[in-house]
Structure 1
């Protein structure tokens, strides 16, 4: 049996996957700490516990070069495309929205990378943006689906994190309900993401990955703005780590 580990060291969360002959057998997820290498070490120890010998390790993400014991280091674009195709084999476009960046990946009919766009310069439209606004309104990202269900969105004009936070405070002072503001923020983010996807002339099926994909309200609004079905998956946040583990599996089989 071939065991491989993929670890995605992200700016906000560290994700890990253990594959046994291509089947997910263990998962690891934790917030990325001040020293990202600590989370990589924790993921490695957790995923390898009890195995007779160390599996092949592939690292991806921002922190992929922070430890020296990996067998392979790979960019996250390649890993996310591979992981997405395992989760949803017909996927042609991937929209990944993480803690501090977003990316759109276009795949050909065989699942090979054909084009991509990445935004890591601005936090607007990312999980960090959603987290800041939620905290400003006294709630959490985990509560957004319940809070905004069936609520009419109030228009939000600013997508800059600093200015949007000020706008939210002003709207609350004017008596606008928190749930309407939150629905407006999600709608504005979804519209921005749809425009981002449109820059690649993307085609479906479209898979939504990254931590923000857990927000069903966002997925619904994104579907409206992008004009095509938006699929997600329970393991969507692990797409990068999964792709890294798959790369390791291919390399191990060649040995």
Structure 2
């Protein structure tokens, strides 16, 4: 007998204030990375695999054609995106494009030697002008990145706590009469850069984008993956079924009571 599939925990996107706090808390070298992650939904490997020519500054879009793969027991390399649908182009806002331009001015992408496995038939080493490198201008590794993220999270939560304390104190001084009690916002334990991807998806859903659009932007292999992950975030629509039936069959006369024999 097949056991029932275990239900996965529902995704809880980061609060917008938490995302802003993380961007503010990021080291200058990674501030544009955080903003891009929250504004495009790219996966972590896709972000670190971006080269300068992946960004079209005039059309304001970013193209995903590869990802950085960093195995625990080997050297990082450039590989194919996760799925066929992960090859995609994502539109960007002016603020993101400006941030990327400023990033390149401060941290020029001079190039780094790396193995390219994007074509399994033509493995080779080349110089890649990657947008985001570590402080030593090297390709980052997973362990080191977790420390970078952890530092950003701690700074962000400290700033969020200070903001809450200030707002709560003002609310108390005003006799708890002006608006609702301020809510605590934080970057939760276990949150990672992938949380920016969930945040981006939640923005699209909140602004009434359909499943196909969200799937396309995120690079999911199938719409069912998008629905399985985010269906609880789509707002409930007003029940229009009654009106739909009324529009088609509303003029049908009521049945007359049967006449007695």
What TM-score do the two structures reach when normalised by structure 2?
Answer: 0.27
Higher percent of residues as strand:
1
Q: Of the two, which has the highest radius of gyration?
A: 2
